[in-house]
């Protein structure tokens, strides 16, 4: 084992069993072979259990990959326990950098080991994005829960599925682009405050057995109904490209906003953030700019962050999408170009370091831009 000072542990909250593992990259990068730095966390995960962190600076034979593990071991006989957890590698700015993480794995339970979690990452990515003053930090969280051996229990059907399978009890229908959709008033009212007001309030629709929906596509209304019954996003075709996916979820976002389905709206925004590419970033930016009350601030922030990368900005400049945006929203495109012209001058100035921190501060000052991503614990 390498000496303990190569890494140290700082607790966030004893009750949550969340902690920072600070790794001395300079002291460990030259360790030979697959030598491991092992550290005992100075607090028990639960009575009779111990947390240990393990760090391999050269996990593979070519010394290109690092590995971090957090494992739970028994100190004496205990009942069967379930171990869960998560590890993240924040960047120098404290923001998560998903592309740095190569793979996450579960540590199987063997002997006294009750299980754990592991993270693998490319050393070059970690050093380029996460190392500060020769160190980088892994944000770890673990939980040990009382558990029992797996039992083969019958799985009850879900109430939402049962209700959707009895259309003869539906008490309202909707006409959308010539298609008819039957539904249950109580389900819609429970999900949407707008439907509750329409179907049970003083509005004319409360007495109508058939309601016509205007300014909405039939597939979008169908997807919205499926969400209200089952809480699920629509299944996406495997061959759907980013542009088609963007269009589908922009329509669904508007529908969710119209009917007060805040969680669906936030889910759609997350999907739209994931579709950002050279061919979709400008139309996503226009869409976010058109939303009222800053509801689409996260999407706008992600678009600006994407454009802040010089190569992305150059590629966007020669796309067909830019031509369309010049027709539909020339003032917004001109504003983007002006701010990023200033940005390039800013980072090129010799008195400033070309760091993402200063880019964020610049955008925040000039355009109210602030990245919406936060460093949080997420399972899976």
Q: What CATH number did the domain enclosing 57 receive?
A: 2.60.210.10
Confidence class of residue 14 from pLDDT cuts 50, 70 and 90? very low
In a domain, residue 120? The reply is yes
In a domain, residue 374? The reply is no
Output DSSP code: residue 270.
Answer: H
Q: Does residue 354 register a pLDDT over 50?
A: no
In a domain, residue 102? The reply is yes
In a domain, residue 151? The reply is no
**Which two tokens mark 150?**
């797996």
pLDDT for residue 373:
38
Confidence class of residue 188 from pLDDT cuts 50, 70 and 90? very high
Q: Does residue 372 register a pLDDT over 50?
A: no
Same domain, 133 and 179: no
In a domain, residue 311? The reply is yes
User: How confident is the model over 24-48, as pLDDT tens digits?
Assistant: 888 888 887 778 888 887 765 566 6
pLDDT for residue 378:
28
Same domain, 89 and 183: no
pLDDT for residue 20:
82
Domain boundary residue, one of 84, 114, 146: 146
pLDDT for residue 377:
26
CATH number of the structural domain spanning residue 322? 3.30.710.10
Same domain, 140 and 164: no
Confidence class of residue 12 from pLDDT cuts 50, 70 and 90? very low
Same domain, 138 and 214: no
Same domain, 351 and 227: yes
DSSP 3-state of 307: helix
In a domain, residue 188? The reply is yes
Same domain, 350 and 265: yes
Do the beta carbons of residue 114 and residue 84 sit within 8 Å? Answer: no
How many CA within 13 A on the CB side of residue 282?
28
Do the beta carbons of residue 44 and residue 26 sit within 8 Å? Answer: no
pLDDT for residue 370:
45
Same domain, 34 and 66: yes
Alpha carbon distance 334, 66 (integer Å): 44
Same domain, 99 and 21: yes
pLDDT for residue 312:
80
Q: Does residue 147 register a pLDDT over 50?
A: yes
Domain boundary residue, one of 85, 114, 146: 146
159 or 301: which carries more pLDDT confidence? 301
The mean per-residue pLDDT over the stretch 256-262 comes to 94
pLDDT for residue 2:
42
In a domain, residue 67? The reply is yes
Same domain, 309 and 255: yes
Domain boundary residue, one of 123, 146, 169: 146
Same domain, 31 and 89: yes
User: How confident is the model over 190-222, as pLDDT tens digits?
Assistant: 999 999 999 998 887 778 889 999 999 999 999
Strands 18-24 and 135-146, sheet pairing = antiparallel
pTM of the model: 0.52
Alpha carbon distance 305, 357 (integer Å): 12
In total, how many domains does the chain have?
Answer: 2
pLDDT for residue 140:
83
Same domain, 120 and 166: no
Strand ranges for 200-327 from DSSP E: 210-212
Tell the burial category of 346 from Cβ atoms under 10 Å away from its Cβ (0-12, 13-18, 19+): middle
322 lies in which domain range? 160-367
* Summary mean pLDDT of the chain: 75
In a domain, residue 252? The reply is yes
Alpha carbon distance 106, 250 (integer Å): 36
User: How confident is the model over 71-119, as pLDDT tens digits?
Assistant: 888 776 655 455 677 788 888 766 666 778 878 888 877 766 777 888 8
pLDDT for residue 376:
29
CB-based contacts of 144: which residues, under 8 Å, 6+ apart?
A: 17, 45, 46, 49, 72, 81, 82, 83, 114
- What count of other Cβ atoms lies within 10 Å of the Cβ of residue 131? 18
The separation between CA 97 and the C-alpha centre of its own chain, rounded to angstroms, equals 11
Question: Given CA atoms 8, 11, 16, 21 in this order, what sign does their dihedral have?
Answer: negative
Same domain, 81 and 166: no
Do the beta carbons of residue 342 and residue 323 sit within 8 Å? Answer: no
User: How confident is the model over 284-307, as pLDDT tens digits?
Assistant: 888 888 886 667 888 988 888 887
Alpha carbon distance 151, 135 (integer Å): 45
């Amino acid at each position: 084992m390498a000496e303990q000072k190569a890494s140290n542990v700082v607790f966030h909250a004893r009750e949550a069993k969340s902690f920072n593992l600070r790794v001395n990259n300079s002291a460990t990068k030259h360790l030979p072979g697959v030598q491991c730095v092992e550290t005992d966390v100075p607090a028990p995960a639960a009575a009779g259990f111990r947390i240990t962190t393990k760090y391999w600076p050269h996990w593979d034979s070519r010394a290109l990959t690092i590995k971090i593990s957090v494992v739970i071991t028994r100190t004496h006989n205990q009942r069967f326990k379930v171990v869960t957890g998560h590890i993240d590698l924040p960047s120098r700015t404290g923001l998560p950098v998903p592309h740095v993480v190569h793979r996450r794995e579960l540590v199987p339970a063997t002997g006294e080991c009750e299980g754990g979690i592991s993270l693998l990452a490319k050393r070059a990515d970690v050093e380029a994005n996460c190392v500060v003053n020769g160190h980088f930090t892994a944000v770890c969280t673990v939980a040990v829960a009382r558990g029992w051996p797996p039992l083969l229990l019958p799985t009850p059907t879900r109430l939402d599925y049962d209700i959707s399978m009895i259309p003869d009890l539906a008490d309202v229908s909707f006409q959308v682009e010539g298609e008819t959709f039957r539904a249950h008033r109580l389900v819609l009212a429970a999900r949407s405050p707008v439907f509750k007001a329409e179907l049970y309030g003083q509005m004319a629709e409360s007495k109508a057995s058939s309601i016509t929906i205007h300014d909405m596509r039939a597939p979008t209304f169908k997807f919205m109904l499926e969400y209200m019954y089952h809480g699920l996003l629509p299944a996406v075709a495997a061959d759907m490209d980013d542009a088609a996916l963007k269009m589908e979820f922009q329509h669904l976002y508007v529908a969710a906003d119209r009917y007060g389905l805040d969680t669906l709206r936030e889910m759609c925004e997350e999907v739209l953030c994931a579709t950002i590419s050279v061919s979709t970033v400008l139309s996503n930016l226009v869409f976010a700019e058109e939303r009222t009350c800053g509801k689409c601030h996260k999407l706008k922030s992600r678009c600006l962050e994407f454009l802040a990368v010089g190569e992305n900005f150059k590629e966007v400049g020669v796309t067909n999408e830019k031509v369309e945006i010049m027709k539909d929203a020339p003032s917004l495109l001109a504003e983007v170009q002006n701010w990023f012209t200033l940005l390039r001058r800013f980072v090129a100035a010799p008195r400033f370091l070309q760091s993402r921190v200063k880019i964020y501060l610049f955008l925040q000052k000039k355009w109210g831009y602030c990245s919406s991503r936060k460093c949080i614990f997420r399972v899976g």
